[in-house]
Amino acid sequence: MVTKTMDEQEEDLFEHYNYVADNGQEKLRIDKFLMDRIPNTSRNKIQIAAHNGNILVNKLKVKPNYKVKPKDIISIVLPYPVRELELKPQNIPVDIVYEDNELCIVNKAANTVVHPGYGNYDGTLVNALLYHFNNLPELPSDYFGRPGLVHRLDKHTTGLMVIAKTENTLTNLAKQFFDRTIQRRYQALVWGDFTEDKGTIDLYIGRSIKNRKLMIGYPNKDHGKHAVTHFKVIERFGYITLIECKLETGRTHQIRAHLKHIGHPLFNDLEYGGDKVLKGTSFTKYKQFVENCFRLFPGQALHAKSLGFHHPTLNKEVNFDSELPHYFLEVLNKWRRYTNSSTF
């Protein structure tokens, strides 16, 4: 008998399995033990996980030949499992910031869904990756149905994503996301001014009961998952503020839901109420100015600006940075001119 629990991250694409071996457990290699219990996996995938330090027994890393004993507490982190979904390569441009034999860094454009799903069966970043990278496995069963992905961005969120090109790197990066050692910084334009220059939002978030597409804050883990966002002010414009957000966790809509909860929704966030004039004057000219800014954004004003992690084969920390999209910069310049002048 085995006690099992499973924790699924929603934004970071990995699964965490926990097992407790029964008192009568016979000695058995851990790769065989786990292969018999985890769906849609193989001994090779489990051995790769072990070699990357993704398997812990009693909080210690073990090799694939470790023999499971009674009452052992076993933890394993794996990339997301197979999804029954036909994936087809499509010739869609991809902005590649960096590439080597193990991984690449892409700068995701706005209005781009990361992977196929309900209502978005093609035209996604995954379809583009399958076209541009010949060494990505062609069958969904070979690559968990989401080639190379260990995290994702919302459709209208722009910026940096890391894409794994080998299964070893995919597994290694999944563990880094699970351990929260990945460095992710975003820049966001939000409504309102802040009384402080920096702060931390530590709040459980889960799906709204009224609208299942939205995430909202909850006081405890009964309805949500623990999420932590650190922020600091970059530039103040009076009615709106440019901030940097650093993620500790990777929950669905985390930044958007957290900032909405504290009264600072993202500028032009169509789902979280930021697409209305929330601060400022009642003058028609001001409203027209804001609406002109809205029209420049395809969605919420959020950009994944920098990404840092331990490279699985170079064995060193690597960091990448990206420029804000041109329309984001244009809106910032408009607000600078507005705050420095009483006229438009």
Own/partner contacts of 115-121, CB < 8 Å, gap of 24 or more, are 115/146, 115/149, 115/152, 116/85, 116/87, 117/85
Q: Distances from the Cα of 115 to the Cαs of 128, 155, 255, in angstroms?
A: 10, 10, 20
The secondary structure of 203-233 as a DSSP string is: -EEEE-SS-TTSEEEESSTTTSB--EEEEEE
Residue 233: both structure tokens together: 């002010």
Distance of CA 58 to the CA centre of its chain: 29
Catalytic option among 154, 202, 269, 321: 154
Q: Is 72 a catalytic residue?
A: no
Instruction: DSSP letter for 141, please.
Output: G
φ and ψ at residue 296, rounded to 5 degrees: -75, -25
Q: Helices H, strands E: what count in the chain?
A: 7, 18
Q: Which residues are catalytic?
A: 154
